[in-house]
Structure 1
Amino acid sequence: MSKNESRRSFIKKASLTTAALTTTPYVFAAQEETITLSRTYSNTSYTANDHITIALIGSGIQGIYDTKSALSVSGVKLVAVCDLYDGRLDRAKELWGDSIFVTRDYRKVLERKDVDAVIIATPDHWHQKITIAALKAGKHVYCEKPMVQKYEEGQAIIDAQRESGKICQIGSQSMASLGNEKAKQLYEEGAIGDIVMLDMYNDRYSAEGAWQYPIPPDANPDTIDFDRFLGSAPKVPYELKRFFRWRNYQDYGTGVAGDLFVHAFSTLNHVISSHGPNRALATGGLRYWNDGRDVPDVSITLYDYPKTATHAAFNAAFRVNFIAGNGGGGGFKLIGTEGEMEVGQNKVTLRRSKLGMVPGGYSLIAYTEETQQKIKAGYATTVPSSREKSLNTGVTTWEAPRDYKGGHYDHFNNFFTAIRQGTEVVQNPIFGLRAAGAALLANESYYKKQPVDWDPTAMKML
C-alpha cells in the first residue's frame, strides 16, 4: 500500500462513529482515550532435554539483567558464566546456583559442548572478537548493543554469522516490545502523515546515571584480571575506575552515543523501515563529571535522513544530559505533517491536531475591517471544510497491560524462538550495524569537530 493510500485508510478509520471505536482503535474527534494492547505467548513447556542451554560472558550490570530476562523464557537453562572479576563469579553462583561453571576465560565457555547460545555483555571493545569466536564455535549469539565499538568491525560479524548459519541477535531491548510494534503499525497506516522530525532526549541527574558505578572493596589485582580486560586496547597501568566504569573511556566504550543513541536508532529505523541517516553534526562537552573520563557528559547531535520509499526526508535531534537539574527524564517522539507519536516500550501516545490554514486576528489586524471580511470570505471558498479534519484529531494512548512481560522478555523470546524454529530475529547483525553506525556518527563528528557523511545502505563512512 502506498503512503497516500495508507493515509486515506487511516483517516477513514479515524472518522468512524464512536461505537465503532470500541473495536477499531483510532483517534476520533477531539477526544482522549486509552486502549489496552495485548500479546499472546506460547504456553509450550519443555523437558530438561529440550532446554536451550546458555552461557553469560560478562556478568556485570547489563549481563545480569539480560540473563534474568533470558531465563524467564520457557525452556532456557544457564550452565556457565564468564567474568574477569571474581566477585561477579561469586554473585553468579549466588544468583543461579553452585552447579554453574564459572571462569575468567571466555574461550573455555566456547569449548563447552553443553552451551547452545551465549550472551555477550562485555565492554564494547570486546564485542566483535567474542561474537565472531562464538559463531565460529557453533554457538548462537545474543550480543549487547552497540554491536561494535567501531563501525569498521561490523562487516566481519555479518560475514561470520552468514558463514556459521547460527542466530545472532543484537541486544537493543525495546526492539520487540509492544510499543515498537504498535508504533510501526500506526506509522505504516499514515497516522502522522509524512515524518519531518525525530526528537529524542535522555536527561539524568545522579552519579549512577552518569556511570559512576560503585567499586567493590575487595577489588584488587588478585581478584581482577586487568590485563585481559584491556585486550586490544592501549596498555595502561592498573586502574579500578577503568575496569568498573569503562563506559567513561573511549578505549573501551562508545560514550553516550553507543550506550543510549543506539537504542533510539534501533526503534526509529524499525518503526519507519529505514536504513538510517546519511549525515550527522555533533556538539557537547564535559560539563560536570570531571572524574577522569574522556567522553562528554552532554551531547547533542543532529542527523539528516534522506528520502526513501518508506519515509520523507527528515531531521532527527538526539540529546543526552548527565547533569540535568530538572531531575531527569526522557522522550522519543516521531513528529509528522499530521500528527505526533511518543513511543515507549510499554506505551504509544498519538496526537493529531487540526492544521491552522485560515488567518486569525494576529495577521488581520493590519487591514481595515472591510478588507478583513473580504479576506475571510476568500479563505472560506478556497480552504476545504474543516469538518473532516476535525473528525480525526485528538489523543489516543495504547498501553501494555499490567501483566505484560516487557520488551526485554520479548527480545529474548524472539531470539530463542528463532533458534528453535529457524526464523528471523528482529535485530540481526545488518540491522545492528546500521543502528550502531548511525549512533557512532555522533562520536566521529564530535571528535573531528565537523559534520560527517554516512552511507546507510553500504554501512560505511563517506
Structure 2
Amino acid sequence: MNTEVTSTLSRRDFITKGAAGAGLMMGAPSILKAGPAGTADDPVRVGFIGCGKQHEVLFNAMVNIPGIKYVAAADIMKDRLGRTFGAIRGRFDTSIKRYLSVEEMLEKEADNMDAVFVATPDFWHAPHTVMALEAGVHVYCEKMMSNTLEGARSMVDAMDRTGKLCQIGHQRRSNPRYQFTLEELIKKHKICGQIININGQWNRALSSSQDIVSKPSILPEADVLREAGFNNGTDKKLTQEELRHRFLNWRFYKALSGGPISDLGAHQIDIFNWFLDARPTSVMASGGRSYFKDREHFDNVMCVFDYETPQGNARAFYQVLTTTSAGGGYYESFMGTDGTIEISEREAYTNIYKESGADGAKWDELVSRGYLKKEAAGVAAGGSDAIASYESAPPDKYALPGGLSKPPHQPHIENFLDAIRGKAKLTCDARHALESEAPIYWVNPAAESKEIIKFTDEHLHT
C-alpha cells in the first residue's frame, strides 16, 4: 500500500477521510476505512455483556453510528438492565432481551448476534470474551484484557481457535489525531528527531477516587455476588455489605483488577509501545498506599520502562495518582532531539514544541501544508548571563489544527464494525493488545519488590 501523501493532503483531510481514505497504512495490524461504519441496510446485530458506567460510555459512542441492531444485554444487576433497555427503547424505539446470566444470553441469542461488547469488571473480561468467541460471536472487550496474564493469553488463544474477531478497547489506536501524529509527524517527517525520553501521566483528584456507593435496594444479593466471583481472593465468608462493596469498588481488590496502573495507565503505556514500535526491556517502579491505607492496591504509582528502539535506547516515565489532580490532565509526551509532542484525547493538552537547533524550513513547510499551526512565540525570562547559560529559551510552540468531532471511543467502534463487514482490519486485536499490555502486569510486582524486573519471553508471554 502507498505510504506517501501528496502535498495537497491536509491534516483536516486526514481526519475527515480516515487513514485509508488518505492512502495511509497505519502499520500492522491497522488499516482504517474512510467514511462512517455501516448502513441501515447492512446492520450488525450486537449484544452487551455488562451494563455499568463503561457500557454507558461505549453506548453513547455508538448511538450516532448507523447500521447497528441492538439485540440483547446481560448484567447481574436488574437496575442496570432496566436503564439499558430504557435507553435503547427511548433512542431507537426498539426493545432488547434482558438476561441476568451471560451464559443464558449466549445460549439463547448467539445465533441472533454478530458481536458483543464486554464491559464487565476486569476479572470477568477473559471468561466472558472466551465464552462469546466460542459461541461464534465477535467481541469488543474493554481493556485491560484481564487481571492476569494467563487470562489475557486465553483470549488470544480463543480468538485464534475460533477465527472470530476480538478487538480490545485501546481506543487511541483508532483515533485520527494519534494516527496522524505517528504516521506523518513522527515517522515520515521525523519532527521529534531521535526520541529518547517519554513521559505520561493520569492524575485523578481525591474527590474522584472515593468509594462508590449505591442504594442497597438495587444491588444484587449476597448469593448472586458470590456466584459471580466477588469473593475471589479471600477465604473469609464475606457479608453482604462486604460483597456489595467489592461489587461497586472492584478496582480496589487484587483478585478483581490490576489497580490504577492497569485501570488508567494501560491506555497510555500502550501508546508508548505503539509510537516507539518496541516493547520495553525492563521496568522499575515505586508505589504506596499513601492515603487509602485500607485498599489492596497502591493509590499512587510511578514507574520507568527501558526500551531498545531502532533509533537507540529510550526511557519512559509514567505516573498514576489517585490523590491529586496535580493541575489536571492526562497525556503522553514524546521528547526528542528536534522536538517534543504532547498528545492527549483532549485537544487542550495536545502541544508540539520545536527545539532551537531543528530544521526550521521543514517545520515551516508543515505549517504551510496545514499539518501544524504555529502559536505566538514565547518570551525568554529575564535574568543574568549566568542564568541564561543554563536555562534554554522557550521553544517555538505549535498545535495540531482541527480536532475529533465525535466521542473518542467512536472511531474504535467503527473500526470494529467495519472489520466485521470485511471492510477493515482491526486496529487493536487481542494478540497485539497482549503484546502491549504484558509489561503492565509487572509494574505492581516491581513496586512491591523494589527491584528492577528485566523482561524475558516468559514475563511477556510471547
Give TM-score, length-normalised by structure 1.
0.78
What are the superposed Cα offsets for residues 147-205 of structure 1, whole Å, 9 maximum, x if unpaired? 12112333322121112111110002222112211221211021101111110111221
**1:139-154 equivalences in 2 (<5 Å):** 139-154=137-152
Cα distance in structure 2, aligned partners of 1:288 and 1:42: 47
Q: Give the Å deviation of 1:267.
A: 2.0
Q: Find the counterpart in structure 2 of residue 248 from structure 1.
A: 252
**Secondary structure in 2 aligned to 1:94?**
helix
User: Are 2:35 and 1:42 aligned?
Assistant: yes
Match of 1:340 in 2: 340
Structure 2 residue matching 1:267: 3-state secondary structure:
helix
CA displacement 1:289-337 (0-9 Å, x = unmatched): 34x4211111101111123x3x421001110111116453223100111
**Could you tell me how far apart the structure 2 residues matched to 1:105 and 1:313 are?**
49
- SS in structure 1 at match of 2:198: strand
Give the AA of the match of 1:447: E
CA contact under 8 A between 1:199 and 1:334: conserved in structure 2?
A: yes
Provide the rounded CA distance (Å) in 2 between the counterparts of 1:145 and 1:414: 16
| CA shift in 2, pair 1:442/1:162, >3 Å | same
- Per the alignment, residue 297 of structure 2 pairs with 295
Decide whether aligned partners of structure 1 residues 133 and 418 sit closer, same or farther in structure 2, where only a CA change above 3 A counts.
same
Is 1:227 aligned to residue 226 of structure 2? yes
Structure with larger RCO (C-alpha < 8 A, sep 6+): 1
Q: What does residue 262 of structure 1 align with?
A: 266
Give 2:115's match in structure 1, choosing from 109, 113, 117. 117
Change in Cα spacing, 1:200 to 1:47, as seen in structure 2 (3 Å) is closer
Match of 2:399 among 391, 394, 397: 397
Cα offset, 1:122, TM superposition: 0.9
Q: CA 1:340 to 1:45, structure 2 compared with 1: closer, same or farther past 3 Å?
A: closer
- 1:25-424 → structure 2 map (5 Å cutoff): 38-40=15-17, 41-42=34-35, 46-47=39-40, 50-97=42-89, 99-111=95-107, 112=109, 113-185=111-183, 186-189=185-188, 190-207=190-207, 209-210=208-209, 212-222=211-221, 225-230=224-229, 233-234=232-233, 236-237=237-238, 238=240, 239=242, 240-274=244-278, 276-290=279-293, 292-307=294-309, 309=310, 311-324=311-324, 326-345=326-345, 347=347, 348-355=350-357, 362=386, 394-401=396-403, 404-421=405-422, 423-424=424-425
Question: How far apart are 1:231 and its partner, in Å?
Answer: 6.4
- 1:441 maps to 2:442: yes
Letter aligned with residue 437 of structure 1: A
- The gaps in structure 2 that reach 5 residues or longer are 18-33, 359-383
1:79–1:314 Cα change, 3 Å: same
Alpha-carbon spacing, 1:325–1:458, altered in 2? closer, same or farther (3 Å):
closer
Superposed CA RMSD = 3.1
Deviations 1:52-101 (A, max 9, x none): 11111111110121123234321112211111112111211221137211
- Residue 145 of structure 1: SS of its match in structure 2? coil
Are the counterparts in 2 of residues 37 and 399 from structure 1 also a CA contact under 8 Å? Answer: no
1:449 and 1:83 mapped to 2: Cα distance? 40
Letter matched to residue 46 of structure 1: T
Check conservation: 1:36, 1:400, Cα contact below 8 A. Answer: no
In the comparison of the two structures, how many residue pairs are matched?
399
Larger radius of gyration: 1
How many Å separate the matches in 1 of 2:401 and 2:407? 12
Rounded to whole Å, the distance in 1 between the matches of 2:51 and 2:387 is: 63
Check whether the contact 1:279–1:452 (CA below 8 A) recurs between aligned residues: yes
Task: Give secondary structure in 2 for the equivalent of 1:304.
Answer: strand
> Secondary structure in 2 aligned to 1:407?
coil
Distance 1:151 1:263, change over 3 A: same
Percent identity between matched residues is: 24
Q: Does the 8 A contact of 1:140 with 1:167 survive in 2?
A: yes
> Which shifted more, 332-341 or 78-87?
78-87
